[in-house]
């Protein structure tokens, strides 16, 4: 059913090597309709994505709340018929419960810090890590074989891999539109309480799903040698 994926063309001109913004500052903004995920789980949407899906945070108590994303493993969602396992993503109102990405922020409460009620961070630079680290990275590793760099610890050896990946949102190339459902019961992992880790469902209406697909692929043995020197240099510059 999704044989079209073999015909997906993503921007393969994106440099496969992790980039450094110079000094200790991460270069966080990807291009196109994409999300950049770093090895520490921090996530950054592109400006195009922010504009298209109204991801930016609004002032507190405003009527226009904007959108975040649900992230779904198709293995848990049989209603999305696909011959191979994928990660799919759907825009959902920030006011909905259990929004996985870009759903919440803090607000200024002290007038000395700024306008009271304003978001403390922009969605473009917020870089929330919890969902990325706890859920999305393991999922990406499992579904797409992505390899994130992990430094050596007292108990574990260093793991070679990338400092970040760019993940593109891909619509149905046959229609240039996402896959839509009037009603969908989206699987969600319980994050707290006695049922933590189990999977439940949450009902969503008028949902549209995109495939979330890596725009860059894991380094292969063929290009490892070429990139090794540069990657080694850049790792020392990138702040986790």
Partner 1 sequence: MSIKIGINENVKINAIEINAKGTLEIELIDANEVKKSLFDASLTAATNKEGITRRLLFFLPNVAKDKDGAEAKTQEKKLQLISADFQRLIKQLTQIASQWLTTENIALDTIENQWAGTGVVDGPTFEERGLMEAVVKQRYDNIVKRFVDIMTKNGLVPSPEPIRFKLIRQAADKAFPTVPGSYLDEQPFIELMTIPKAQSRVKFSAYELTAGLDSDAPMAKDKSEKKSSSTGTTKETSEANPFA
Options 47, 104, 201, 239; binder of partner 1; rule CB under 8 A? 201
Residue 9 burial class via C-beta count within 10 angstroms: exposed 0-12, middle 13-18, buried 19 and up: exposed
Smallest distance from partner 1 to CB 208, Å: 14
* Partners of residue 67 on adjacent β-strands: 93
Options 59, 115, 159, 199; binder of partner 1; rule CB under 8 A? 199
Strand positions, DSSP E, the chain: 34-38, 43-45, 67-73, 87-93, 164-170, 179-189, 199-214
Options 152, 192, 203, 220; binder of partner 1; rule CB under 8 A? 203
**Cα(146)–Cα(148) distance, integer angstroms:** 7
Q: Which is nearer to partner 1, 121 or 199 (CB)?
A: 199
Q: Which is nearer to partner 1, 7 or 203 (CB)?
A: 203
Q: Does 194 bind partner 1 (CB under 8 A)?
A: no
Q: Which one of the spans 23-31, 108-116, 122-130, 199-207 is the region binding partner 1 (CB under 8 A)?
A: 199-207
**Cα(36)–Cα(166) distance, integer angstroms:** 4
Q: Does 187 bind partner 1 (CB under 8 A)?
A: yes
Stretch (H or E) spanning 231: helix 221-235
**Cα(232)–Cα(111) distance, integer angstroms:** 44
Q: Does 205 bind partner 1 (CB under 8 A)?
A: yes
Options 6, 155, 174, 182; binder of partner 1; rule CB under 8 A? 182
Smallest distance from partner 1 to CB 63, Å: 19
Q: Does 93 bind partner 1 (CB under 8 A)?
A: no
Q: How far is CA 61 from CA 65, 77, 95, 104, in A?
A: 8, 33, 11, 13
Number of amino acids touching partner 1 (CB under 8 A): 14
């Amino acid at each position: 059913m999704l044989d079209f994926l073999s015909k997906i063309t993503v921007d393969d001109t994106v440099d496969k090597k992790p980039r450094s913004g110079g000094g200790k500052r991460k270069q966080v903004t990807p291009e196109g309709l994409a999300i950049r995920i770093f090895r520490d789980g921090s996530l950054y949407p592109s400006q195009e994505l922010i504009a298209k899906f109204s991801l930016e945070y609004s002032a507190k108590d405003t009527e226009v709340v904007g959108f975040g994303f649900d992230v779904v493993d198709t293995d848990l969602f049989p209603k999305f018929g696909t011959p191979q396992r994928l990660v799919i993503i759907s825009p959902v109102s920030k006011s909905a419960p259990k929004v996985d990405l870009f759903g919440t922020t803090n607000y200024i409460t002290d007038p000395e810090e700024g306008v009271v009620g304003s978001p403390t961070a922009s969605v473009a630079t917020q870089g929330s890590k919890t969902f990325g680290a706890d859920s999305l990275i393991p999922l990406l590793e499992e579904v797409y074989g992505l390899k994130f760099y992990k430094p050596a610890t007292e108990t574990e050896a260093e793991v070679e891999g990338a400092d970040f990946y760019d993940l593109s949102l891909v619509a149905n190339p046959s229609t240039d539109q996402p896959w839509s459902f009037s009603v969908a019961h989206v699987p969600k992992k319980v994050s707290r309480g006695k049922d933590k880790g189990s999977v439940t469902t949450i009902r969503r209406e008028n949902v549209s799903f995109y495939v979330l697909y890596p725009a860059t692929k894991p380094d292969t043995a063929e290009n490892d040698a070429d990139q090794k020197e540069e990657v080694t240099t850049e790792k020392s510059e990138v702040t986790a």
